[in-house]
Structure 1
Amino acid sequence: MAAKPAEAGPVPVAASHDGALDQSGLMHLVGYAASRASIELKKTFSRHLGPLKLKAVEFSVLVLVDTNAEVNQKQLGLALDVSPPNLAVTLDRMVEQGWIRRERSERDRRAQLIRLTPVGQALVTRARKIGQTMEQEALKVLSPAERALLIELLQRVAQKRSRHA
């Protein structure tokens, strides 16, 4: 019985004259497409909010604390999927910057709430204003309906739930 020849993968082709690689072997992967889009959106974030010395996780913390009357470190970690040690480092840095403060809960003295300082409130107000329009250039290839659909679909994937499950 003769051995079957091994299945060969795609035949490699030379890069195009401009140096661009053939990415067709990856283009069917949602993760690859999401990663490529994420790279572009991170560049956009850095260009617009970088001058405020804000990292993406810090922006998210500021907005969540601003939006939610009583929020603690555990809730922030769960919402942002950040480990307790990493979030503690981030919050410590934000306290040092004077953006947030920790204070004991009046209702549960064991709990520490995260609150905005006046400096943090001014920063989140400014950052939110920038955030309202910062993605427009990167997303101009999408209609408003497509953008809304993209956000909905990404949220469903992130929440690991589906209407069909």
Structure 2
Amino acid sequence: MPAQSSFLPLLRELVRTYQAFERHSAAHVLSLGLTPAQFDVIATLGNTAGMNPKQLGLKTLITKGTLTGVVDRLLAKGLVRRLPDPSDGRGQIVRLTPAGQRLFEQVFPAHGAHLHRVFERLSAQDAAQAERSLRILRTAFEQAAAEESTP
């Protein structure tokens, strides 16, 4: 097990990498006329029959309060609609409108291509190594969470 302070450089690099990714990604999403949260919702709902707000929140990792505002703004733009949830009389399903689906079909591939230009700078070996390292780190966090939630 590494010394307690030896994880700090790794933590710092993880945060800096995430921040660099977010800056790069957000700048492109904004150029498409969407906020990052709006893009996240559209990308998550694209090619689906829609989902309830709880499912949408789990898949996008957007908090409930923020998600409501994002969906409201997309509703005002005519990109999503709220429908009654057939499996829950009090619930709703959020679904892309035809205009929202068309937007998804434009922006999702464009953003994927934008990100791909960065990832293609990595050699196949470096990309595989980064993926393995991130998987190991994610697994460590998931195991810790499982252990902490077990009584």
Sort the TM-score into its range (normalised by shorter chain). 0.7 to 0.9
Taking only the aligned residue pairs, the percentage that are identical comes to 22
Task: Judge conservation of contact 2:30–2:36 (CA < 8 Å) in 1.
Answer: no
Q: 1:89 aligns with which of 69, 78, 95?
A: 69
Contact 2:53 2:92 (8 Å CA) reproduced: yes
- Structure 1 residue 145 and structure 2 residue 128: aligned? yes
Q: Which has the larger radius of gyration?
A: 1
CA-to-partner distance for each residue in 1:53-96, whole Å, 9 max, x for gaps? 22222222112212443411111122333322111111111111
Query: 2:44–2:60: 8 Å Cα contact kept in structure 1?
Result: no
Give the alignment of 1:3-152 within 5 angstroms: 28-139=8-119, 140-143=121-124, 144-146=127-129, 148-149=131-132, 152=135
**TM-score, with structure 2 as normaliser:** 0.73
Judged with a 3 Å threshold, the aligned counterparts in structure 2 of structure 1 residues 57 and 146 are, in CA distance, closer, same or farther, namely: farther
Task: Indicate the residue corresponding to 2:142 in structure 1.
Answer: 161
Q: Matched residues in 2 for 1:151 and 1:67: separation?
A: 28
Greater per-residue helix proportion: 2
Unpaired runs of at least 5, structure 2: none
Matched length = 138
Q: Give the letter for the 1:145 counterpart.
A: A
- Scaled by the length of structure 1, the TM-score of the pair is 0.68
